[in-house]
Amino acid sequence: MEDYKDLKAIWEGELPLDQIKWRNRSFKEFQLSNKHESKKKLNWDEHMKDYPNDYDGKLLFLDNFQFKDNYIYLDISFVKFSTIIFMVKNKIPVKKGIGMLGTQCLIFSPNKEFILVGERSLSQSYYPGAIVNVGGMLELDDLKKTPKEALMREAYEETQLNLKSDAFLKAILVGWNNVSVTFLISTTLSSIYNFNPDEEVIPADKNEFEGNLHWLSIQDLKKLQQGKYLDGLFYYKSKLRNILI
């Protein structure tokens, strides 16, 4: 079983994504101390031998956020993925800021009785084999979009589904050895969608997933024994008795 002792929610609620705003976008890189930076390249070279599909992208880093007057304001810089990998491997905590910014999207059927899930590829460095909802890390180019567009990008790219225009932030989670922060969001298939969970096949990126995405009933999700979940799905599953879908 995955160890979730470090997973914590630093915000919980039900906030429309339109009410999330960029505040400060510094475009300054989050960096380690000089002694760590000198070792990071060697660490990344070794990492790439095992995970050649990873790339050292410029990922968004959440420096701070503020919840005020029913809006969330985000202060953003960026971080290289090689820095995050080095921090995780060496258990180096974030001393200034919150962490690498990612999004995970709970996608529900029109009747909200099913949720879309997949299994991460075993070749992935990040949670290989975990049962997950769709999502990913936000990149520097996402700052050209609104926060809603940035947070929903992966959901549209990975599923190509016709989703409702309204989407909500459910929680802000900190995990993965306290170096990453996840915006857990939720949305629903359009009501005009001809939904049939038994016939629905949603192709998935073979570099990221084992097999295709599939629909899992909420009741079956409740019955699943303890296993390996990405933190957003683990959080949702643990809250099923009282979370508002």
Q: What are the Cα distances from residue 209, in Å, to 21, 114, 124, 141, 220? A: 31, 19, 9, 24, 21
pLDDT higher than threshold 50 for residue 244: no
Taking the model in full, what pTM does it have? 0.91
pLDDT tens-digit map of 36-66: 988 999 999 999 999 988 899 999 999 999 9
Domain boundaries, the chain: 8-238
Asked whether the CA dihedral 138, 142, 148, 154 is positive or negative, the reply is negative
pLDDT tens-digit map of 208-227: 888 889 999 999 888 876 66
CATH superfamily of 8-238: Nucleoside Triphosphate Pyrophosphohydrolase (3.90.79.10)
pLDDT tens-digit map of 96-112: 899 999 999 999 998 88
Please provide the average confidence, as pLDDT, over all residues in the chain: 88
Least confident of 91-100, 127-136, 171-180, 236-245: 236-245
Tell me how far apart the alpha carbons of residues 139 and 71 are, in angstroms, rounded to a whole number. Answer: 22
DSSP symbol at 24: E
